[in-house]
Amino acid sequence: MYKIPANTVFMGKNLVFVPECHSTNDLALQLCQQRTASEGTVIITANQTAGRGQRGNTWHVAPGKNLTFSCIVKPTFLAIKDQFHLNVVSALALYDYLVEKTTASIRIKWPNDVMVNNKKIAGILIENQLQGNSFASAVIGIGLNMNQEAFSINTATSLYQISNQVYDLNAEFECILHKLEARFLQLKGGKRNTLLADYLSVMYWRHELHTFVANDQTFNGTIVGLDDLGRLRITTPEGERVFGMKEIQYQATGY
């Protein structure tokens, strides 16, 4: 169903399509463990039956209507403490793709949810394989809602809902792989400052006063940016606070 992209150097050149699987991340992780996968190997399925999300959540979408795939990269040039840059790369790649599809407001909700009109259109699950103190490989799992008409939760959306168009999944997939490769090569080429500036410029809720929850406590604050480890910096009336990935939640607004 999916064809090898013509416009990439390595991303997707080894393309594995499985009509159905539990989780493309699981399949990609297996390949990494067997050490057989070349960099840029991509696993894609039409029906993921046990998709995994961040914080132990599930990722469940209608079969055949969306993009669910996992890309294997080998960021051996990256220190483990800098792993957040893979989130930046992946989220920006989806941003780059979406910005060409819609004039609606697209934002990256830290660390790497992609939001359109305040609703989540894409989720990313990155899983790393380390070798000693460095990266062996990383699996970038992406779920992007494309042609799904309706969702059981009102916090999710799709490109179809935004534009009322049905998309050719194969053509769009090729385009996304190209964007992902371009952002990854930017990271490999040492353009971290550019990547971070791009990320910050489209960050959801940045410079706005909002409500968050941490340690079962609700507080108001304003996202001001990230620290060196990619943690979220929030100014509050009590001073600046810094949060790692599983330490904070955004309080839902009434949409």
Task: Please give the residue ranges that form the binding site for ligand BTN (CB under 6 A).
Answer: 23-25, 48, 51-54, 57, 59, 68-70, 113, 123-125, 141-143
Closer Cβ to ligand BTN, 22 or 192, answer by number: 22
Smallest separation, CB 193 to ligand BTN (Å): 27
Closer Cβ to ligand BTN, 17 or 77, answer by number: 17
Distance of CA 66 to the CA centre of its chain: 15
The candidate with the shortest Cα–Cα distance to 94, out of 7, 188, 179, 182, is 179
Please give the structure tokens belonging to residue 40.
Answer: 């840029």
Smallest separation, CB 71 to ligand BTN (Å): 10
Smallest separation, CB 50 to ligand BTN (Å): 7
Smallest separation, CB 148 to ligand BTN (Å): 13
- Determine contact, residues 143/68, Cβ cutoff 8 Å: yes
Smallest separation, CB 191 to ligand BTN (Å): 25
Closer Cβ to ligand BTN, 63 or 191, answer by number: 63
Closer Cβ to ligand BTN, 60 or 191, answer by number: 60
Position of minimal CB gap to ligand BTN: 123
Closer Cβ to ligand BTN, 18 or 192, answer by number: 18
Interhelix angle for 192-201 vs 84-99, to 10°?
60
Q: Are strands 42-48 and 51-52 parallel, antiparallel or unpaired?
A: unpaired
> Torsions phi, psi of 82, nearest 5?
-100, 15
- Determine contact, residues 65/167, Cβ cutoff 8 Å: no
Helix (H) / strand (E) containing 236: strand 232-236
CA 42-164-91 angle, to 5 degrees, is 35
